[in-house]
Amino acid sequence: MPLENAVHLCVDMQRIFAKGGVWETPWMERILPTIVDIVARHPEGTVFTRFITPASPDEAPGQWRPYFERWRVATRNAPGGAQLDLVPELARFAPPAAIVDKPAYSAFFRSRLGGLLLDRGIRTVIVSGAETDVCVLSTVLDAVNIGFRVVIVEDALCSSSDQGHDALMTMYRLRFSEQIDLVTAEGLKDMWRPERESLGTTSAIPCCSATYLKKIPRERTMAEKDLNELFLDTLKDIYYAEKHILKALPKMAKAANSDQLRAAFEKHFDETEGQVERLEQIFEMLGKAARGKKCDAIEGIIDEGKEIMDEYAETQALDAGLLAAAQAVEHYEISRYGTLKAWAAKLNMPDAVKLLDQTLAEEKKTDEALSKLAEQAVNYEAAA
Ligand code: FE
Ligand code: FE
Ligand code: FE
């Protein structure tokens, strides 16, 4: 089956794993020419990963700390350096090949790689590199989790453990036949032709958010600060807004005079919890931690609502004021979700479009329900 929209993800072919390296992988030498051949045919369709160790064990989180105490010799500040660069035979291809630095085993861990590949229309990840049973394993399973078709080039993998390598090759073959294909480098030539490439990256993909990696200078191209960034920023904005709304809604429900209005706020509180979860799913699709970014607009709208609650407490006009504040919130959300949905479509993220559309529909429905209640509230107020 020919491969389209594929990328070659070449895992950790670094000097540290090569002959004489701290984590020497004896067969690396043997598979290197095979990998060089794949990369030479697809330099623009290749992403290299590098396992970047911390400067010292103290910078490593959790159980990585004792690990790097044991492997202090592999840390970046170790005498002689950790030799984290790519082996020279492959380094010469980057650029145009891209480089992804990662703080742990998987190329997708704390990384924007998954989102960036999806945004660029990549559906298949072709995997080579080191080691079959550690970083390749972790990367392959994450690629499967994200939803990529994975093609493992079986004669372009190496491990320092023969047993581990053999066990994993058996597992890839037997346990994941729907998601993982095993091919030889020769077979790959027929399946993946250079002209089919569509990665379109020209330099290092910035991806890692581990604190100790922030110290590694990384180039950012103009193309990266584009719609993807704007989408992520706006996602953070609405995530922050939704979290604030979750705090405000119970207070508004408590303040409401009418039972109907209280019920409407309570219902929307439950919906909002689901909306927050949807946003978290989208963050995950982007390979990003779900984090809010201060939204001054929602704070202003909610502050106004608070003022109304104070100023009109125990008056007949309170519900009308609460409704107006709540509708201002809904209108802000409708505007944000409408925009995000349009951008997600542009960025070729159909799953995100679906989630954003569900929320958008809920916000619109809430707004309509509030409009109806507002008419009643005003009529009631006029009649009172
Ligand atoms: Fe909402
Ligand atoms: Fe905002
Ligand atoms: Fe809402």
pTM, rounded to two decimals: 0.54
Q: Write the pLDDT tens digit of every residue in 106-151.
A: 999 987 788 888 888 899 999 999 999 899 999 999 999 999 999 9
Ligand nearest 330 Cα, by number? 3
d(CA 383, ligand 1 centre) in Å: 33
pLDDT of residue 193: 83
Of the listed ranges 96-105, 140-149, 357-366, the one predicted with least confidence: 96-105
Q: Which residue has the higher pLDDT, 111 or 68?
A: 68
Preceding peptide of 54 cis, ω within 30°:
no
Place of tokens 């030479």: 40
pLDDT of residue 384: 55
Given a cut of 70, is residue 329 above it in pLDDT? Answer: yes
Residue 212: band (very low, low, confident or very high) from pLDDT cuts 50, 70, 90: very low
d(CA 232, ligand 3 centre) in Å: 20
Query: Mean pLDDT, to the nearest integer, of 9-21?
Result: 91
Residue 362: band (very low, low, confident or very high) from pLDDT cuts 50, 70, 90: very high
pLDDT of residue 204: 43
Q: Which residue has the higher pLDDT, 383 or 362?
A: 362
d(CA 132, ligand 1 centre) in Å: 44
Given a cut of 60, is residue 310 above it in pLDDT? Answer: yes
pLDDT of residue 150: 94
Query: Mean pLDDT, to the nearest integer, of 335-352?
Result: 92
| Contact yes or no for 294/241 (Cβ under 8 A) | no
Cβ partners under 8 Å of residue 200, min gap 6: 44, 120
| Contact yes or no for 256/320 (Cβ under 8 A) | no
Domain boundaries, the chain: 6-223, 227-383
pLDDT of residue 79: 76
Ligand nearest 363 Cα, by number? 3
Q: Helices 227-255 and 318-346 sit at what angle, rounded to 10 degrees?
A: 160
Residue 381: band (very low, low, confident or very high) from pLDDT cuts 50, 70, 90: low
| Cα atoms in the Cβ-side hemisphere of radius 13 Å centred on 18 | 17
Q: Which CATH number fits domain 6-223: 1.10.1740.10, 3.30.390.10, 3.40.50.2300, 3.40.50.850?
A: 3.40.50.850
pLDDT of residue 379: 66
d(CA 328, ligand 1 centre) in Å: 12
Q: Write the pLDDT tens digit of every residue in 156-188.
A: 999 888 899 899 999 998 888 888 999 999 999
Query: Mean pLDDT, to the nearest integer, of 317-326?
Result: 93
d(CA 377, ligand 2 centre) in Å: 29
Cβ partners under 8 Å of residue 285, min gap 6: 114, 115, 118, 146, 349, 351, 352
End-to-end CA distance of the chain: 74
Domain 227-383 in CATH: superfamily? Ferritin, core subunit, four-helix bundle (1.20.1260.10)
Q: Which residue has the higher pLDDT, 316 or 188?
A: 188
Residue 206: band (very low, low, confident or very high) from pLDDT cuts 50, 70, 90: very low
Instruction: Find, among 184, 314, 303, the residue nearest to 248 by Cα.
Output: 303
Query: Mean pLDDT, to the nearest integer, of 58-82?
Result: 87
d(CA 222, ligand 1 centre) in Å: 32
Residue 237: band (very low, low, confident or very high) from pLDDT cuts 50, 70, 90: very high
